[in-house]
Structure 1
Amino acid sequence: MKRYKIQYLSVLLLFALQAFSLPGIAQNTVIKGTVTDASNKETLPYVSFVITGSGKGGKTDVDGNYSITLTGKDVSYTEIKFSYIGYKSQVRTIKPGVTQTISIQLQNEGMEMDEVFITAGKKAKYKNKDNPAVELIRNVIANKSKNRMEGYDYVSYQKYERMLFSMSNLSDKFKSRRVFRNYQFLFQEQDSTKIGGKNVLPVFQQEKLSDNYFRKNPEKLKTVIVADKQVNFDERFIDNKGLSTYFDRMYQDIDIYDNNISVVSNQLLSPISDGAPGFYKYFITDTIKTHNPQLVELSFTPRNKADLLFEGKIYITLDGNYAVQNAFLTVNKDINLNFVRAFEAKLDFEQNPDNRYHLSKSSLTVDFGILKSKGAGFTGERVVSFNNYTINKPLNDTVYSGSSLVQVPDSTKKSEAFWAINRPEALNAINAKVYNNLDTLQSIPSFRRTMNLFTLLFVGYKDFGAFEVGPVNTFYSFNDVEGFRLRLGGRTTTALSKRYFFETYAAYGFNDEKWKYFLSATYSLNNKSIYSFPQNYLRASFQRDTKIPGQELQFVQEDNFLLSFKRGENNMMLYNDFYRLDYVHEFQNHFSYAVGFRKWEQSPAGSLYFSNLTGNNQLKTIDNISTSEVSVALRYAPKEKFYQGKLYRTPIIDKYPTFNLRYTAGIKGLVGGEYNYHNLMGSIDKRFYLSQLGYSDVTVEGGYIFGKVPFPLLDIHRANQTYAYQLNSYNLMNFLEFVSDHYASINIDHNFNGFFFNKIPLLSKLKLREVMSFKGLYGGLRDENNPNVNSAAMQFVKNDSGASITNALNSGPYIEGSVGVGNIFKVLRVDVVRRFSYLDHPLVSEWGVRARFKFDF
């Protein structure tokens, strides 16, 4: 009996010992440190390290630092090995379950040292002159033209693209939260050393297969999308096409031969761009003689770590082509890119029959997060493969004709068998489940409730099936004329009909005690939602509401609550009655036209008045103005990209211009119209990328009115009396301050992307960005429309002191400019604005401070 007691006690003791030891084993093992050269103590970038026996490891960063965390069963490994070409490998012992620093000094292969003497010495200054690495990169630059696709007369290839976007860096605690109880099937596990961490939650995936045909003369690249498969969310919540377009813009193809490479909507200077030697440092780190042809491994780093530049390695052929055979690109942790925690791009090239190279595969991974090193975030991974690459084989001219982008009719309906055969590589276990998992997710009632709440809070609409109510940010506002204003409205959805759409709202001002309302009916001619591209619809509408003359807003409602706060006097408004009939037709190439008819009755409100001089120089009040107009508007935005929201199309700005042309004719006698006139307006918008100097958004605009009209029908120039900085308005101009019947304007808004701030110690850590703008408006008023010359013209508005509030631009241009700081807390831009002309006008300010919120990368 005693023997059994002893055995029983032994078992209990064994379990007790295991219980105490398990927490220690379960702890993570964290190893970090710095790798340096034993001879000169300089840090060594891109040194490989591996946990012996596990296959897990990585490379040191550009400063020679490394860090790795082992979890789960991996904490039992006890050795870490460091390897670097040209240096002797070293192995060190690691302690499981603790955080430790292991710094390494690697010895050169050719060194045999019995003793090491450390002496202080001045580090040699990096120079381009007589630098073999720089000479090599100059040869690469000189041969770029022949190593690009454009170096051939004809090229054809098949292209496969896969984009996966996931929530990343999710902790086990996050994953086990009660709110995710029904969604555990969505979470996936991956190698914890990969970008994005161990736990990920895929939220979007898309695959495309296309045939591509390039012709040099006349130059054209035609893409035919053969197959297109993506996660499709409920269109009431998300614009699927816009979401795909947004990801395409953020994760564009990387062409290392371009001078500038787009990365998450920014442009980074390529390490082999024409001007790269002035911004990068280059080091020859290895010669690979086992490869045919021989390759040189060239490492590169930015001269300034915070600039928008890459770091990494490229492998260059020594066969006279000086072509890139492989490339590994990443960015420094100090780079001025918002929310980017990790970036990695890999490029592989294959040899053509003429011994030149073409890109065969690229992979791009970017991890985003609010915090730099921890916490949940998002990771996007884009893989592109190029197959069936054929050079200098001309095809029939019909292949290159037509649109540059064509999608075959059944491209979105390809079977699983088709994809299984045509994918260059089979999907891994994580990616294969994404489509079915997200389809299942959308059928869960709790998820649909969450999306409804999200849409209400961030988009402004509450969906009730066939009808949605909103936008909520217009439910309450106030102004000097209406006082406290309440509004309620909504519109029908595709759940009611894909052909017919109705929209309405009603508003009431408690100060003027007037009702305002709107009603429209729209018929879709292409059996699609009128909010989706391409639009093709006919709409009839009536609106009775107030408007501030000269206020023109972008991507925000005029009665948005936040716009209730304004500077100066804001008691000049119009009561408008609009009767409209509009036809809009958009085409796939982003050309569109709109034809419309509008009957417009406007009456002054607040301190605004309409008046004419009588024969005895007395003012005669005019109650209202009535006009009838027909108009034609043309718009062309080649390669335009946007996200279609419930209220606005949000443009995804790129380098391509947008052209607008509008003609309006007023017809006297048509359903009460009182004036004959012709109004012609045109504009061009374009972004100019200036490499390391940032980018400029430029708008050029002009207009001309033919005919004699009262000042409310003239061009009332866009003013801004809010405290928000508005890109397309004059931020120190008062409402109704300037009118003209002919004008030309230019608006330049430049962002330096931190080019100067990045070079100032300490300040560079704030990731601030310099901005500046210039706005010039030149115009005039012909005598027939100028009441200061022609007493028969409708009089300008004057204040109580008799000073004119409304003015012509006959005394020179209106000019204002600003300098500011952007990217404050990553979302805020603050400008100091200066007005340079017409400073003698009443109630104007020479200086002002304006702010603008913008989420940017």
Structure 2
Amino acid sequence: MAKITVFLCCLCTVFTYAQTKVGGKVTDEQGEPIPFVNVVFANSSEGTITNDDGTFYLQSENTYSSVVFSFVGFETKSLTLNNAVNYKLDIVLKEEASALSEVVIYQGKTSKKNNPAIDILRKIWANKRKNGVKLFDQYQYKKYEKQEFDLNTIDSSLIKSPIFKGMEFIFKETDTNAVTGKTYLPIFLNEAVYRVYGDNKLNKEKEILLGNKNSGFSDNQTLIAFVKDLYAEYDVYDNYLKFFDKSFVSPLSTTGIDNYNYVLADSAFVDNKWCYKIVYYPRRKNELTFKGDFWVNDTTWAIKNIKLQVTKSANINWVKEIYIEQDFKVLNDSVFLITRDHFMSDFSLNKKQESRGIYGKRTTLYDEYVFDQEKGAQFYKYQPQYYNDHVYNRESSFWENNRLEELNKDERQVYVMLDTLKTVKAFQRLYNVGSILASGYVEFDNFDFGPIFSTFGYNDVEGLRLRVGGRTYFGRNDPWRIEGYTAYGLKDNKFKYGISGKWLLDKKMRLIIAGGNRRDVEQLGASLTNTNDVLGRSLASSSLITIGANTSLTNINLTTAALSFEPFKNFNVRFGGSFRTLESASNQFSLAYFTDEARTQVENKTRQTQFSTMLKYTPKRKTTGYGVERIVVNDGDYPELFMNYSLGLKDVLSSDFDYKKLQFYYRHPWQLGGFGKLTTTLETGKTYGEVPLSLLNVVPGNQTLFSIYGSFPLLDFYEFVTDEYASLHIEHNFNGRFFSRIPVVRDWNLREIISVRGVYGTLSQANRDLNASTSNPILLAPDQDPYWSWSAGIGNIFKIFRIDFHFRGNYFQNPEARSFGVTGAFGFYF
């Protein structure tokens, strides 16, 4: 949502003109709205379907004199259009005595038996893998994408708003959306041309960007990648279509008969091919389903045209409308290939008809298909991509030759209008605000101040904590970067700081050297797996709201140096070394250990030199940027594997201990179609050698009121300590699958979340004996039985809040053990 704010800062103009427009509402004789009514211009294939509340809007570039309304069980009604624009029409349909004679149709919930529409659907299932590029060993084609964002529901109050003072000229021309009937103003346009290659034998595909152009952000790969991921590609033949991190049931799904009603509505020649028209609509409300229709060929059972529109009751946030239309062409009288894909979404804070928001539109055109030209396995091997200034600054002749669809005059005006806007101070201020909200940094020349959201924190040692920081920033593809911060605690009256730097030495292998130093107060054991992030700081040590006192904090002085590289895509190898000193930050907490066998001499500070090798693999991760730093586009939506081997060396730089440590981390999100999203996390580790508490593995407790993934919310900090452990965390978000079936509750669009956590670990007697603390903490390990707890959560409360109720499964005998707890989290999720 923060990046969408940036789009608001790029106001410019593009319009489309329609010759015939109609809009209104369809009801029955009792005044009840009728959803899913077919609205079609007479003697044409241009039409739409009424919304859940019976409203409709339809426009065409052609001139029509009448419009036809038809629905199962009602008499068809034809209305003469006296004007080119006809709004606020009130259409009343009468119930009919008998069904139409030529086509078998159904009313309400259609039967799953003896339904010709479902018979056709089964033939589509049987033939869906016999269509498209999958029929050929190799394929290639040109792909042209045009993505546009529009500010919608333009009215006088918006035009006169102070936010647009000095920019009123952008509202001189507006137009009406063909799906929703709302007035809109284009604010962003992006064009891209690709050449796509695929090999079905190798199961490989490669996409090469030939050119990219957009209004005002010519070199902003982050914005371009974000928009591209927002409208990820899909195949309507798949059982589930993933949009905005949600899995919608496709009307062509093999499970579709359990989610949709199907009606055989018509049959006709479409581009010289005899086709059947199937109308479909949801069997239930509040589910992630569509309404619409599709035309299917009667011999290949391939889709010729399909329309999909998400119902208003669908359990999805910030998106009021989703409309999709795809067209296919016939190759050699048998194979159907996609030629056009149009995707429109209406982003809004709520789903009220009059609410203002942003349209997102993507049109993708496909052409120049070539088949069975083998490229070889070497062609598809991963090659690091470099920033090519030429690709983002193509001449106008390139676009004239490579656009598969010409821009209309108003789309061309987008590029001109933004050049004017950039000179307006009011626009510059608006853009700067959007940039701060999106990045968290305030931009100056070659320096960014922030992140501003980390300015305040609190813990029992520092009290109120104030923090300021910044980073160098010359461009999005900087080969080097330096960042730092300083902080001050009002209770301990001490300054803290951190500074780090990194330099990209080789772009091909992404060879990077990095180093830094940090002196701060930290909550150790906030996570099982440690990556030695110099500037990292856990929420546990800076949370404004905690449960009970937290004095188990550590003064840390950490210095690191590392070298990393990527031998292949998304596989990172890192060799590093560090030296740290660790000492309790509170007199109510001890990290002391014995230094002699008689256990008479005690040391409070740990000094340790450590060398480590880290391997990290993140398949399917998408990133943007060509410099020393890259931004992950699909954050949290890909598997992650991590392994760390650490070697502690005694007497190197006055280091205190010899040991070896091995850790493994595996996290995987699973999209389970209509059953929601399952996330599993497995962590294991073992420490070889005798080490003090400061170097052991602490099971991550959570004494905050925030839901922190990977932590154990009913454990206090240092409640369990191990030198060998295995942890499993399972969380499943049902995305409202069950709540949607409960009357009244379904209207709240809540989402059910179930979690189970478990950990088993041991602590050797030698390591217990090394610890000099007798009270805080007391060293305990979950070695009798695995410690476990479970949670039940409710998400999407007011669209931004989640609450979790936690229940401890065992170890109730631990000192001050919490058997029940509640945590919450804020977030913006679709």
TM over 0.5: yes
TM-score between both structures, scaled by the size of structure 2: 0.86
Which runs of structure 2 are paired with 1:731-770 in the superposition (5 Å)? 731-770=713-752
Find out whether 1:362 has 2:362 as its counterpart. no
Shift of 1:796: 5.1
Question: Deviation per CA, 1:203-229, whole angstroms, max 9, x where unpaired?
Answer: 432222122222121221122222222
Q: Pick the aligned partner of 1:33 from 25, 35, 38.
A: 25
Question: Deviation per CA, 1:245-290, whole angstroms, max 9, x where unpaired?
Answer: 2222221223111111112221111111222222221110111157
- The SS at the match of 2:483 is strand
Q: Pick the aligned partner of 1:652 from 634, 646, 660.
A: 634
Aligned to 1:725: 707
Aligned to 2:93: 104
Paired letter, 1:48: V
Alpha-carbon distance in structure 1 between the residues aligned to 2:275 and 2:527: 59
- 8 Å CA contact retained: 1:172, 1:199: no
- 8 Å CA contact retained: 2:623, 2:630: no
Find out whether 1:271 has 2:251 as its counterpart. yes
Q: Pick the aligned partner of 2:456 from 467, 470, 476.
A: 476
Aligned to 2:799: 826
- The SS at the match of 2:166 is helix
Aligned to 2:190: 206
- Pick which of 659-668 and 290-299 moved more: 290-299
- 8 Å CA contact retained: 1:317, 1:323: yes
Shift of 1:160: 1.2
Rg comparison, structure with higher value: 1
Alpha-carbon distance in structure 1 between the residues aligned to 2:373 and 2:439: 50
Alpha-carbon distance in structure 1 between the residues aligned to 2:537 and 2:416: 39
Question: Deviation per CA, 1:529-567, whole angstroms, max 9, x where unpaired?
Answer: xxxx99654333221111112224999954799712210
Name the CA shift for 1:648/1:231 in 2 (closer, same or farther; >3 Å): same
Which runs of structure 2 are paired with 1:454-603 in the superposition (5 Å)? 454-456=434-436, 459-494=439-474, 498=478, 501-525=481-505, 536-552=511-527, 557-558=537-538, 563-586=543-566, 589-603=569-583
Shift of 1:232: 5.1
- The SS at the match of 1:826 is coil
Aligned to 2:309: 330
Paired letter, 2:819: E
Aligned to 1:794: 771
TM-score between both structures, scaled by the size of structure 1: 0.84
Alpha-carbon distance in structure 2 between the residues aligned to 1:254 and 1:291: 25
Which runs of structure 2 are paired with 1:13-28 in the superposition (5 Å)? none
- 8 Å CA contact retained: 1:168, 1:196: no
Q: How many residues align?
A: 791
Question: Deviation per CA, 1:759-800, whole angstroms, max 9, x where unpaired?
Answer: 111111111111111112122223432x1xxx3x2245524x
Aligned to 1:807: 780
Name the CA shift for 1:233/1:209 in 2 (closer, same or farther; >3 Å): closer
- The SS at the match of 1:135 is helix
Alpha-carbon distance in structure 1 between the residues aligned to 2:824 and 2:628: 25
- 8 Å CA contact retained: 1:627, 1:666: yes
Question: Deviation per CA, 1:709-728, whole angstroms, max 9, x where unpaired?
Answer: 11211112222111011112
Which runs of structure 2 are paired with 1:339-358 in the superposition (5 Å)? 339-353=318-332, 355-358=334-337
- 8 Å CA contact retained: 1:328, 1:346: yes
Alpha-carbon distance in structure 2 between the residues aligned to 1:510 and 1:178: 40
Q: Pick the aligned partner of 2:622 from 637, 641, 645.
A: 641
Name the CA shift for 1:538/1:436 in 2 (closer, same or farther; >3 Å): farther
Question: Deviation per CA, 1:613-641, whole angstroms, max 9, x where unpaired?
Answer: 68898765422000001122222222313
Paired letter, 2:116: P
- The SS at the match of 2:176 is coil
Paired letter, 1:82: V
Name the Cα RMSD after superposition.
3.9
Paired letter, 1:215: D
- The SS at the match of 1:256 is coil
- Pick which of 753-762 and 476-485 moved more: 476-485
Question: Deviation per CA, 1:4-43, whole angstroms, max 9, x where unpaired?
Answer: xxxxxxxxxxxxxxxxxxxxxxxxx9963325699xx995
Shift of 1:445: 3.6
- 8 Å CA contact retained: 2:109, 2:283: no
Alpha-carbon distance in structure 1 between the residues aligned to 2:319 and 2:645: 46
Q: Pick the aligned partner of 2:665 from 673, 679, 683.
A: 683
- The SS at the match of 1:541 is strand
Q: Mind listing any 5+ residue stretches in structure 2 that lack a counterpart?
A: 1-20
Paired letter, 2:36: P
Shift of 1:847: 0.8
Alpha-carbon distance in structure 2 between the residues aligned to 1:382 and 1:454: 23
Find out whether 1:309 has 2:289 as its counterpart. yes
- 8 Å CA contact retained: 1:44, 1:63: yes
Q: Pick the aligned partner of 1:127 from 105, 111, 115.
A: 111
Name the CA shift for 1:442/1:386 in 2 (closer, same or farther; >3 Å): same
- 8 Å CA contact retained: 2:57, 2:178: no
Name the CA shift for 1:202/1:399 in 2 (closer, same or farther; >3 Å): farther
- Pick which of 620-629 and 59-68 moved more: 59-68
Aligned to 2:13: none
- Pick which of 429-438 and 684-693 moved more: 429-438
Shift of 1:234: 9.5
Question: Deviation per CA, 1:277-311, whole angstroms, max 9, x where unpaired?
Answer: 22221110111157533111011111112111121
Paired letter, 1:469: F
Aligned to 2:36: 45
- 8 Å CA contact retained: 2:167, 2:426: no
Shift of 1:79: 8.8
- The SS at the match of 1:628 is strand
Name the CA shift for 1:253/1:523 in 2 (closer, same or farther; >3 Å): closer
- 8 Å CA contact retained: 1:210, 1:226: yes
Shift of 1:693: 0.7
- Pick which of 808-817 and 58-67 moved more: 58-67
Paired letter, 2:784: S
Alpha-carbon distance in structure 2 between the residues aligned to 1:736 and 1:313: 59
Aligned to 1:82: 68
Alpha-carbon distance in structure 1 between the residues aligned to 2:675 and 2:762: 36
Shift of 1:593: 2.4
Shift of 1:520: 3.1
Q: Pick the aligned partner of 1:230 from 214, 227, 244.
A: 214
Alpha-carbon distance in structure 2 between the residues aligned to 1:249 and 1:831: 30
- Pick which of 496-505 and 536-545 moved more: 496-505
Aligned to 1:396: 375
Name the CA shift for 1:421/1:291 in 2 (closer, same or farther; >3 Å): closer
Q: Mind listing any 5+ residue stretches in structure 1 that lack a counterpart?
A: 1-28, 71-76, 113-121, 528-532
Name the CA shift for 1:840/1:242 in 2 (closer, same or farther; >3 Å): farther
Which runs of structure 2 are paired with 1:364-443 in the superposition (5 Å)? 364-372=343-351, 373-391=353-371, 393-397=372-376, 400-403=379-382, 409=388, 410-443=390-423
Name the CA shift for 1:222/1:495 in 2 (closer, same or farther; >3 Å): closer
Shift of 1:369: 0.9
Aligned to 1:115: none
- The SS at the match of 2:392 is helix
- The SS at the match of 2:158 is helix
Name the CA shift for 1:616/1:577 in 2 (closer, same or farther; >3 Å): closer
Does 1 or 2 have the higher relative contact order (CA < 8 Å, sep 6+)?
2
Paired letter, 1:416: S
Which runs of structure 2 are paired with 1:613-652 in the superposition (5 Å)? 620-641=601-622, 652=634
Alpha-carbon distance in structure 2 between the residues aligned to 1:204 and 1:279: 36
Question: Deviation per CA, 1:730-760, whole angstroms, max 9, x where unpaired?
Answer: 1111112222222222212111111111111
Which runs of structure 2 are paired with 1:657-672 in the superposition (5 Å)? 657-672=639-654
Find out whether 1:65 has 2:35 as its counterpart. no
- 8 Å CA contact retained: 1:492, 1:501: yes
Name the CA shift for 1:507/1:213 in 2 (closer, same or farther; >3 Å): closer
